[in-house]
């Protein structure tokens, strides 16, 4: 088949943090597919067709991209951050697995991007300097009981936690419940970072503790990072400390 799908991560927001391979894929694409705000981040190109869709239709979006490619089109399917981290790459392969056999002959390429947790960590110093994990607080695709089980396990194991999808209008209570669970497992002094819209003009980062963290601070643009008992803060003259997790961990 002559068509292809490139699943590309735009990065966290700053165009300078979009990988050169992604920039080339965007320029070469005949069709651009993605969530409305992410498609809007891509510069217009004469003759390129743009297919922007709303939130929570990821599987439909993936199927649309594969259908266009089957018709011989060169398609770029965009995500923010990295497409393999709670984003469109998994939706593409879910659609591929259950779709027509002809789709399996398509050329499919996944191009990585800088994820929100990486961008936030770079702003802060090195909070992911030791073992960490990423969890989505969305219960749209998994039971909330599973989220709670994973939170307890990760906190008990001493991982730094990067919490994606912490809150939305449809899910206003999940982050508050997650913080309750973590307060039962971690010291009150554990650092909690709220990193919103990192690297774009709306960027705002707050460093709190588990004792003071207010779930109302987060929205869908926010990455919430929970340190461990060993995560350190190094004061700086401007008042915003460096945050790092030592490379060595004490015995459990």
The pLDDT of 168-192, averaged and rounded, is 94
- Look up the CATH number of domain 4-114: 3.40.1010.10
Contact 198, 116 (CB under 8 A): yes
pLDDT exceeds cutoff 70 at 251: no
The pLDDT assigned to 220 comes to 87
Identical fold between 4-114 and 117-244? no
Q: In the chain, what are the domain boundaries?
A: 4-114, 117-244
- How much of the chain, in percent, has pLDDT values that exceed 70? 99
For residues 195-204, average pLDDT:
94
Q: Lay out the sheet containing 232-234: strands in order across.
A: 125-126, 242-244, 232-234
Of 79, 82, 80, 68, nearest in space to 31 by CA: 68
Q: What is the pLDDT of residue 181?
A: 96
What are the pLDDT digits (tens) for 51-76? 999 888 999 999 999 999 999 999 99
Tens digit of each residue's pLDDT (9 = 90 or more) over 9-24: 999 999 999 999 999 9
Question: pLDDT tens digits for 81-120?
Answer: 999 999 999 999 999 999 999 999 999 999 999 999 999 9
Handedness of CA 214, 156, 85, 59 (dihedral sign): negative
- Residue 128, burial from CB neighbour count under 10 angstroms (0-12, 13-18, 19+): buried
Q: In the CATH scheme, what is the code of domain 117-244?
A: 3.30.950.10
* CB burial of residue 54 (10 Å; 0-12, 13-18, 19+): exposed
């Amino acid at each position: 088949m002559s068509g292809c799908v490139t699943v590309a991560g735009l990065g966290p927001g700053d165009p300078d943090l979009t990988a050169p391979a992604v920039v080339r894929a965007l320029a070469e694409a005949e069709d651009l597919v993605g969530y409305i705000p992410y498609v809007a981040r891509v510069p217009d190109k004469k003759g390129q067709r743009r297919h922007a869709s709303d939130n929570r239709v990821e599987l439909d979006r993936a199927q649309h991209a594969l259908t266009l490619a089957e018709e011989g089109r060169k398609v770029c399917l965009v995500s923010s951050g990295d497409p393999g981290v709670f984003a469109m790459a998994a939706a593409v392969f879910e659609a591929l697995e259950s779709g027509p056999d002809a789709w399996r002959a398509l050329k499919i390429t996944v191009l990585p991007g800088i994820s929100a947790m990486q961008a936030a960590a770079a702003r802060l110093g090195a909070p992911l300097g030791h073992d960490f994990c990423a969890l989505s607080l969305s219960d749209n695709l998994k039971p909330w009981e599973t989220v709670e089980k994973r939170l307890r396990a990760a906190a008990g194991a001493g991982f730094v936690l990067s919490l994606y999808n912490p809150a939305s209008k449809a899910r206003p209570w999940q982050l508050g419940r997650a913080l309750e669970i973590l307060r039962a497992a971690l010291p009150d002094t554990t650092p909690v970072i709220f990193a919103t819209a990192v690297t774009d003009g709306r960027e705002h980062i707050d460093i709190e503790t588990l004792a003071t963290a207010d779930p109302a601070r987060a929205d869908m643009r926010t990455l919430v990072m929970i340190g461990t008992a060993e995560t350190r803060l190094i004061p700086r003259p401007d008042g915003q400390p460096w945050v790092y997790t030592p490379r060595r961990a004490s015995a459990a």
